[in-house]
Amino acid sequence: MSRIALYQARTGIDPEANARDLVAAIEEAAQGGAAMLFTPEMSGLLDRDRARAAAFLHGEADDPVLAAVREAAARSGLWVHLGSLALRREDGRLANRGFVLDDRGAVRATYDKLHLFDVDLPTGESWRESASYAPGERAVVVATPVGPLGLSICYDLRFPDLYRALTDAGAKAIAIPAAFTVPTGAAHWHVLMRARAIEAGVFVIAAAQSGRHEDGRETYGHSLVIGPWGDVLLDMGDEKGLGYADIDLARVDEVRGRLPAISHRRPIPEPEQLP
């Protein structure tokens, strides 16, 4: 049994202030008995004003938010899944990159978001993530205190082939840090999270952004922990702060033994196109 903490954030336009909030969350989670803390997508900076945000964008080696979180993880003896940061790549484009840090602050894994959010919503909101960000090129599973953890980010949620690949590679828990919009969150957040857990018999851990942000956007919140039978173990509503849940990997084996869908997976043949 492993106790985890989720940090539901309202990340703003000042990375220094965001880093202070993350460090405080790490310290509080460690004091609360957690073995690992999960934070949302874009934990270091959330600003849709690209010109204003540009001054605060760094490469991985010199990002001050990542450095502060690594130091706090080592000081607190806590594993951290830093949901994602916006980082400059060597080619000048940006990466939406998540990190798994161990209890010494060492980077155990990184993951760049594979699927980019390019949509026009009925509310009039328009998002073009691919205008600035390069997509990732690999799926990742990493050993953690909550077992083999598959990594994904936000919009990845809508692409079940990724989660099939992660569970085929041995994942027993999946992290889905997010900054979901309110319209899409209200319509799809809970049902898709539960579906990802049910179809593979895994724990889903989804730390989310929530509320009205400094840049004017509004995010859905409702950070979730879903059990492998699809049961909601934690729903944090829309308030900023920490939530806790207990992860028992024996539950994964129990559910998969009861409904062994993973072992029934077969290669899908090319569909026939009939007249």
Is 118:129 a contact under the CB 8 Å cutoff? yes
Q: Kindly report the number of other CB atoms within 10 A of residue 187's CB atom.
A: 13
Catalytic residue among 154, 199, 240, 254: 154
Phi, psi of 198 (to 5 degrees): -70, -45
- Selecting among 28, 113, 218, 254, the annotated active-site residue is 113
16, 27, 28, 41: the catalytic one is: 41
The whole-angstrom separation of Cα 144 and Cα 102 is 8
The yes-or-no answer on residue 113 being catalytic is yes
Beta strands (DSSP E) in the chain are 2-8, 36-38, 79-88, 94-101, 107-112, 118-120, 126-128, 141-144, 147-151, 173-175, 203-206, 210-212, 218-220, 224-226, 232-235, 241-247
Q: Can you tell me the distance from the alpha carbon of 151 to that of 24, in angstroms, rounded to the nearest whole number?
A: 24
Is 41 assigned a catalytic role?
yes
CA dist., res. 267 & res. 104, Å (int):
41
Cβ 113 vs Cβ 153: under 8 Å:
yes
Residue with tokens 């909601």: 232
Active site residue 270: no
Q: Which residues are tagged catalytic?
A: 41, 113, 154
